[in-house]
Structure 1
Amino acid sequence: MTTRAVPSAVQQDRPSLLTWPIIAWSLWDWGSAAFNAVITTFVFTVYLTSAPFGDKAANEASLSIGLAVAGACIALLAPVTGQRSDRAGRTVFWLGAYTAVVVAISACLFLVLPEPGYLWLGITLLGLGNVFFELASVNYNGMLNQLTTKERFGAVSGLGWGMGYIGGIALLLIVYVGFIAPEVGWFGVTSANGLNVRVSMLVAAAWFGIFAIPVLLTQAYRGSRSGAQQEDAVVKAPVGASEPAPEAAAAPRESLLASYKRLWRTLVGLYRNHPTVLWFLLAAAVFRDGVAGVFIYGGIIAQNTFGFSPGDVIVFAIAANIVAGIATIAVGHLDDRIGARRVILGSLVILIVAGLLVFALHDAGRAAFWALGMVLSACVGPVQSAARSFLARLIPEGKEGEIFGLYATTGRAVSFMAPSMYGLFIALGTRIVGPGAAYWGILGIVSVLAVGLLLMLRVGEPESLARS
């Protein structure tokens, strides 16, 4: 007989959302917008694919190759790094280490001058930043279970997600007003030699580094307090008391090969006992990579296809983040009413249709991209949020931590798909229509979203499948 608390008891025991550990955790998401919004999406990649670095279509294709290689590295490393840090009990340490590397790489982007000879330096740094950012994210996501109970998982996760959107808007406004928009910005910075963009990279590095500190200090302090309490409990335990749980002891060090074998056993177990979970993890990994492609290449398409200036791209990015944040919060209520699966399928269909319209209307002017870009932005957050709530309903009893860990890593295990397909379709378009075919890359993103949609159609409603 299973024991479940009645709803009133759940409400009484519900932990507070705005505790300092949760706020500190959310500030990492706020700070990480420096890499996601400013570097990867709307400022540095737009700068790196601009005319001073060479032919725009060739630059985009080269960037896609670099990001595809980075995605392959993530696919090899991400599934086991989180598992190994969890078993060693060093989640906070590795979060700090990987974050520090991302901050250092972000600062090094200042060295990328607007000349063709610096293109691959920029692509290499960006690729390395992506790898270490995703490794840091694995450990960051793994902290969620330490912050709250499962009943508040969605609220806490949503708070972090929302802080990411808001942090992106705040930092984009700072770099736009301070460096990108004015002819002479703060501290006398101008656009000569790309200095306005390069200085923005230093600001982004400082932003991420500063806002990553609270969670590292808070979790390290909580870990030391917890360790002291455990030691105290062992000292005070009466004769005959139980030994500490095996999980409390440090796991023995194992080889990288052993970690991959452990991962394989987990996947085989899911295939045999819970194949629906595995199918959803696969579907979510694919369509989430397509959604990431929408953001990664959105600014590039705006500039190189629709004629946006770097300043216009920043303004568009701010509007896109506001729309994405509002839509994610609003559709979260719709998720509870009609089900997460319908939200995912509906959002993917809208994303695919809007993407095809961007391709078809590539010469229709900036107003067309503004309208379609806002539609795309309104679907990006909801599909990711609904995917997380869907999985929460689907996880087999007792497998929550393990499956959410896989969810956090598999999302990047196929991260080479969108960049590869983007570059492939540009090459195809160049062969068909000649130079100026950069807009064909849109079809690459749409194809990834379409594959994710087809895979998602194979997965039924979670209520009929969960804990079966």
Structure 2
Amino acid sequence: MADVGVQRASGRGIRGWMLFDWAAQPFFTVVTTFIFGPYFVSRMASDPVAGQAAWGYGIAAAGFAIAILSPVLGSIADQTGPRKPWIAFFAAIKIVCLCLLWLAAPGSNLFLVVLLFSLASVAAEFSTVFNDSMMPRLVPKQEIGRISNVAWGLGYLGGMIVLIFVVALMAGSPETGKTIVGVEPLFGLDPKLGEDARATGPLAAIWYFVFILPMFFFTPDAIKGMAIGPAVREGLAELKLTLSQARQRGGIFRFLIARMVYQDGVNALLALGGAFAAAMFGWSITEIGVYGIILNVVAIFGCWVAARLDTRLGSKVVVMISLVLLSIATVGIVSTGPGFTLFGALPLPTTDSGALFGTAAEKAYILYGLLIGVAFGPVQASSRSYMARSVTAAESGRYFGIYALAGRATSFAAPFLVATVTALSGSPALGMSVIILFLAGGMWLLAATPYPADKVED
């Protein structure tokens, strides 16, 4: 579609929109992945098996709700007018739920904590749906890729800053009571009561509230559109038509299915990998936070390299390489335990130096984590460029809507299976092994997919 009637928004309006990612990312970094999630699994539950199962079911429940409702909300975003009231509504839910995570002391009601986390996750995703739908009104089409990527980068930077703040100034050692830089935790937080991890919920809520305000104040919004009822009917009708067309274009349909499968594995690995390590090695908030910082630093390097490889070799090659690295990393982490790696084929000394990651097994886990850091950014970024190169400009909006749906439609499946296998087997490692099936299945489907995906039909 041409950019008819699209005028460039003011600089303040564009920057306000870009700050949404900066505001939203710390929830995923410090709450979901690296601080609160591992604390929940390793310290809140009666044992790591119950903790990993409960956390996995929470992620699965949120993913299921997102999969069911996101197409409807996507149609509302396309057809209705103002987005900001919807963003404000879901932001309020997210902020309240995050603040209530402070109550998640050891021994608290697991169901209530998981419910609060799941509601926050759903609200975060739906807020993103409406925020993303504002982008085409801000700049002409040729500039969308630039502001989208800068906003994505700001999100990673925001998450990194908050994570470093937590590790350096809030997360104290249960033994010494000091943070990694040797100071007392801010606000008198007691690490023995998990207050450093519990405080990440209110911290992420405050950060989100403060930094979404520029979007509300300065970013232009649509003025009017369809009423909600007609918008839902119109949007779902268009969604049904596009799905029907996609099935007739074999390459694109196969790519969407492949991405749906491997993205499930990627999401589960990111959401559960840190918690798995914390439970296995008894990592403190400090250690899991440093692990997260290492992964994010490596991820920046991975994206930088992948940007050049994508241009030279194509998106499919980058995605396949990334999936291979993630598969190797997953085999590595599930095969590692105190005193061994590679399922015991490589025994490791159990001596603990007393420093961060003081055992050989922990260092091996970090090495596998580096592979995850290198690959998890490129597998998502190059999947997006794979899709962009496979459709025409005139149909890109509709097909990227299906692309987004494919990324969420079964996002509950991998966490659900990880949680179920963990609960049934009593083995967190066996539960995490399920992720390999999703990565391998996605690679198998992608290997037979043409590049660009619509090449056969051209």
Which interval holds the TM-score relative to the shorter structure?
0.7 to 0.9
Q: 2:337 aligns with which of 343, 350, 362?
A: 362
Q: Counterpart of 1:389? A: 385
1:351-395 Cα distance to aligned partner (Å, 9 max, x none) = 112211222233331000111101111100001000111111112
85-94 or 100-109: which moved more? 85-94
Structure 1: tracts of 5 or more residues without a match: 4-14, 228-247, 431-436
Matched, 1:164 2:164: no
259-268 or 385-394: which moved more? 259-268
Q: 1:255 to 1:158 in 2, by over 3 A?
A: closer
Deviation at 1:421, TM superposition (A): 2.2
Deviation at 1:319, TM superposition (A): 1.2
18-27 or 334-343: which moved more? 18-27
Distance 2:133 2:287 in 1: 37
1:186-218 Cα distance to aligned partner (Å, 9 max, x none) = 122222432222222211110111111222322
* Superposition map of 1:222-301 within 5 A: 222-223=220-221, 250=226, 253-254=229-230, 260-272=236-248, 274-301=249-276
Q: 1:104 to 1:397 in 2, by over 3 A?
A: same
Kept in 2: contact 1:102–1:129 (CA 8 A)? yes
1:140-182 Cα distance to aligned partner (Å, 9 max, x none) = 2223323334434333222122112111110011122221136
368-377 or 93-102: which moved more? 93-102
1:54-90 Cα distance to aligned partner (Å, 9 max, x none) = 1111111122222222221111101111111220123
Q: Counterpart of 1:213? A: 213
Deviation at 1:341, TM superposition (A): 0.7
Max Rg structure: 1
* Percent identity over paired residues: 30
Q: 1:149 to 1:323 in 2, by over 3 A?
A: farther
TM-score using structure 2 length: 0.85
Deviation at 1:396, TM superposition (A): 3.5
Q: Counterpart of 2:29? A: 37
Q: Counterpart of 2:137? A: 146
1:254-312 Cα distance to aligned partner (Å, 9 max, x none) = 3867754543232112223x343232222222222221212111211221123422210
Q: 1:355 to 1:252 in 2, by over 3 A?
A: closer
Matched, 1:446 2:422: no
126-135 or 93-102: which moved more? 93-102
Aligned length: 423
Distance 1:279 1:348 in 2: 17
Distance 2:431 2:168 in 1: 31
* Superposition map of 1:25-104 within 5 A: 25-104=17-96
Q: 1:139 to 1:280 in 2, by over 3 A?
A: farther
Q: 1:142 to 1:407 in 2, by over 3 A?
A: farther
Kept in 1: contact 2:160–2:293 (CA 8 A)? yes
Distance 1:338 1:153 in 2: 24
Deviation at 1:30, TM superposition (A): 1.3
Kept in 2: contact 1:72–1:416 (CA 8 A)? yes
Q: 1:401 aligns with which of 378, 385, 397?
A: 397
Distance 1:122 1:252 in 2: 32
Deviation at 1:250, TM superposition (A): 3.3
1:404-456 Cα distance to aligned partner (Å, 9 max, x none) = 222223312211122012123324543xxxxxx21222212222212221222
Kept in 1: contact 2:171–2:197 (CA 8 A)? yes
Give RMSD over aligned pairs.
2.6
* AA partner of residue 58 (structure 2): G
Secondary structure of 2:281's partner?
Answer: coil
Q: Counterpart of 1:459? A: 449
Distance 2:210 2:221 in 1: 21
Secondary structure of 2:230's partner?
Answer: coil
Kept in 1: contact 2:77–2:129 (CA 8 A)? no
Structure 2: tracts of 5 or more residues without a match: 178-183, 341-360
